[in-house]
């Protein structure tokens, strides 16, 4: 499908990858992995044809269609949601034009046999693609995909540009999924999904017959969807068969071998340096000394992998709260005519680590803000227990940072006892390295500000922490650091997230919120997913049993 040969590209004078070669075949579902800054998003843009390599070739099979989803996208379209997504089928017009040209060409009498065979093969591909599409079912397909991604029927007539940024990403994703693409390139596709739409897109992509190349920090997602892994490491791209977990097993063994090679090499270098230093001024050893110096100059230092497992962060020990840090009684909240929360009762006990799950718009963020005293309910009572101290994170909290302070100063506001070295180490775990820590907050991107706000949470002495989508701007390494810290956290936690892998070791209860109702599941994420699957399957089983009974009754008649 696509051949990449001898590909090289530089960024700020350094190679991201150099003379690398690989192939993506039809049906390959590939996770693209690598440390932050190794060029994953750049590679997607190269394959999409949006950027050009410094050297090398990217050769696509003739006639293949490629769809690309970037990390951020803002639409200015005045089309309705339905109209905008329907434009993803415009390629059918192009197929019909190509079909007409081929038929005209085939009527020419001077065609060589080889050219004729190629045209007939391409015509067959076009007919196959048109058959797959089933043009008369397009409207129902659009509706099915949009509802799978969380849109309601009433939103189909809303203008695309009137949706928020996260929902606009879903619109673009729907267009790509419906666009008849042979290869789909996705850059962090799950960032703006809730758990329902995440489960839906996993099933969609598992059944997708084309090829996928995905950059994602959601391990659960890529384990479910992909069957190959492309790793960018040491400026090379390597290809591995199997799931992401299979790749990780190999990586652990590979990294251990690299560390052993590095230590062995360093030992030999030190021996050589001692020899040079000892005999540098002895004329009888001059040739040997010069030979050893040349040996050192020729050595390619073994590059160590990221030390992902060596860093461990902990929250400060929180003050002990009462047995019930917070008790919500008969809480209701509306926005205009939209009743988001209705008669909600929720008692949270000390040590609970609760995930708020459900579709977007069901009240997860609203309830989080009410608990964190960022929003007042319309009706109901909130009782805070003895000694309850709350810390709250959401992406908009980043807007409250002091723009004129640098990153070190920002963290020193709440952790005056920490040394600059300790704060630099913490910031490094959130992808701020070297001189980044001296940047002013005002020059940071939205995602970078969110990471600084999250780093502040790790220095808090609160005993009730509320986190709303904390992983959206983190890489896998940073997520694992935060995950481990939350597992060890001795206080109470409320977590809004769609990242299943992140939540599994942390959460011990799940509150499912749906429009106007809620249900508590007294177990972790895996327990919740199992119960949810049973609830979904139960009506199906009942329907099948009813149909069997009806058929038996008909036979008796």
Domain boundary, last residue among 205, 223, 242: 242
Cα 329 to chain center, whole Å?
36
Residues 504 and 356 in one domain: yes
Residues 15 and 143 in one domain: no
CATH of the domain at 41: 3.40.50.300
Q: What is the DSSP letter of 48?
A: H
Query: Which residue segment(s) compose the domain that 275 sits in?
Result: 248-298
Residues 108 and 43 in one domain: no
Q: Which residues contact 31 (CB under 8 A, 6 or more apart)?
A: 214, 216, 222, 225, 226, 228, 229, 230, 244, 247
Domain boundary, last residue among 159, 177, 195: 177
Hey, is 333 helix, strand or coil?
strand
Residues 425 and 453 in one domain: yes
> Is residue 325 a contact partner of residue 372, using CB atoms and an 8 Å limit?
no
Separation CA 95–CA 90 (nearest Å): 9
Residues 132 and 272 in one domain: no
Residues 372 and 509 in one domain: yes
Q: Is 318 inside any structural domain?
A: no
- 10-residue mean pLDDT profile of the chain (557 residues): values are 87 81 92 85 90 86 88 78 88 82 84 85 82 76 93 91 87 92 93 90 94 93 94 86 90 88 92 90 87 89 65 79 95 90 94 93 92 94 94 82 89 83 84 85 80 84 92 82 91 94 96 89 93 69 51 53
**Structure tokens of 440?**
């002013």
Q: Is 260 inside any structural domain?
A: yes
Q: Is 69 inside any structural domain?
A: no
pLDDT for the residue 543? 47
CA-nearest of 72, 70, 38 to 431 is 38
**Structure tokens of 236?**
């090379």
pLDDT for the residue 474? 80
Domain boundary, last residue among 122, 146, 177: 177
Q: How many CB atoms lie within 10 A of CB 415?
A: 18
Residue 55 Ramachandran class (φ > 0 left, ψ -120 to 50 alpha, else beta): beta
Length of the chain: 557
Residues 164 and 190 in one domain: no
Per-residue pLDDT tens for 179-202?
889 999 999 999 888 889 999 999
Q: Is 72 inside any structural domain?
A: no
Q: Is 31 inside any structural domain?
A: yes
**Structure tokens of 162?**
């009137």
Q: Is 556 inside any structural domain?
A: no
pLDDT for the residue 306? 63
Residues 187 and 115 in one domain: no
Separation CA 233–CA 303 (nearest Å): 10
Torsion of CA 125, 126, 132, 135, to 10 degrees: 180
Q: Is 310 inside any structural domain?
A: no
Q: What is the total count of domains within the chain? A: 4
Pairing of strands 228-233, 236-241: antiparallel
Q: Is 151 inside any structural domain?
A: yes
User: What percent of the residues of the chain are helix, what percent strand, and what percent coil, each to the nearest 5?
Assistant: 45, 20, 30
Residues 280 and 348 in one domain: no
Residues 85 and 168 in one domain: yes
Residues 235 and 253 in one domain: no
The full DSSP string for 441-488 is: GGGS-HHHHHHHHHHHHTT---SEEEEESTTTT--HHHHHHHHHHHHH
Residues 129 and 154 in one domain: yes
What sign results for the dihedral spanned by CA atoms 237, 241, 247, 253? negative
In b/e form, how buried is each residue of 86-96, taking b as 16+ CB within 10 angstroms?
bebbeeeeebe
CA-nearest of 441, 407, 439, 446 to 424 is 407
């Amino acid at each position: 499908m696509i051949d990449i040969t001898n590909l090289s590209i530089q960024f700020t004078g350094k190679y991201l990858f150099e003379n690398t070669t690989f192939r993506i075949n039809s049906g390959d579902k590939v996770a693209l992995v690598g440390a932050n800054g190794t060029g994953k998003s750049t590679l997607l843009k190269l394959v999409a044809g949006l950027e050009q390599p410094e050297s090398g070739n990217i050769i696509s099979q003739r006639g293949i269609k490629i769809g690309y989803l970037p990390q951020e996208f803002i639409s200015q379209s005045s089309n309705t949601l339905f109209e905008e997504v329907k434009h993803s089928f415009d390629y059918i017009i192009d197929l019909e034009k190509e079909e007409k040209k081929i038929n005209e060409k085939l009527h020419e009498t001077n065609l060589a046999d080889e050219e004729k065979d190629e045209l007939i093969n391409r015509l067959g591909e076009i007919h196959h693609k048109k058959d797959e599409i089933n043009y008369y079912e397009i409207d129902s397909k659009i509706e099915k995909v949009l509802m799978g991604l969380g849109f309601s029927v009433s939103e189909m007539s809303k203008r695309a540009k009137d949706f928020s940024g996260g929902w606009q990403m879903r619109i673009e994703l729907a267009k790509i999924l419906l666009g008849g693409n042979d290869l789909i390139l996705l850059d962090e596709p799950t960032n703006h999904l809730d758990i329902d739409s995440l489960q839906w897109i996993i099933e969609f992509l598992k059944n997708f017959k084309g090829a996928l190349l995905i950059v994602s920090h959601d391990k659960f997602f890529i384990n479910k969807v992909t069957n190959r892994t492309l790793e960018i490491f040491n400026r090379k791209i390597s290809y591995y068969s199997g799931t992401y977990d299979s790749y990780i097993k190999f990586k652990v063994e590979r990294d251990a071998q690299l560390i052993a090679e590095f230590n062995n090499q360093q030992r030999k270098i030190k021996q050589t340096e001692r020899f040079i230093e000892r005999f540098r001024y002895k004329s009888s050893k001059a040739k040997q000394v010069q030979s050893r110096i040349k040996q050192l100059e020729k050595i390619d230092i073994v590059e160590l992998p990221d030390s992902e497992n060596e860093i461990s962060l902990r929250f400060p020990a929180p003050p002990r709260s009462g047995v019930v840090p917070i008790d919500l009684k008969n809480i209701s909240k509306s926005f205009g005519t939209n009743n988001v929360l209705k008669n909600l009762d929720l008692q949270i006990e000390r040590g609970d680590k609760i995930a708020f799950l459900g579709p977007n718009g069901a009240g997860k963020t609203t309830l989080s803000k009410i608990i964190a005293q960022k929003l007042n309910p319309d009706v109901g009572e909130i009782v805070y227990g003895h000694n309850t101290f709350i810390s709250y994170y959401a992406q908009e909290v980043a807007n409250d940072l002091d723009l004129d302070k640098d990153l070190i100063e920002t963290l020193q506001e709440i952790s005056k006892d920490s040394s600059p070295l300790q704060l630099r180490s913490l910031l490094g775990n959130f992808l701020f390295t070297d001189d980044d820590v001296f940047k002013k907050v005002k020059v940071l991107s939205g995602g970078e500000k969110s990471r600084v706000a999250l780093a502040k949470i790790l220095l808090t002495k609160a005993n009730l922490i509320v986190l709303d989508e904390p992983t959206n701007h983190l890489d896998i390494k940073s997520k694992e650091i935060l995950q481990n810290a939350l597992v060890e956290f001795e206080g109470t936690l409320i977590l809004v997230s769609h990242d299943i892998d992140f939540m599994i070791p942390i959460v011990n209860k799940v509150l499912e919120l749906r429009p106007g109702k809620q249900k508590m599941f007294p177990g972790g994420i895996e327990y919740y997913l199992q119960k949810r699957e049973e609830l979904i399957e139960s009506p199906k089983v009942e329907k099948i049993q009813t149909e069997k009974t009806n058929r038996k009754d008909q036979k008796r008649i």
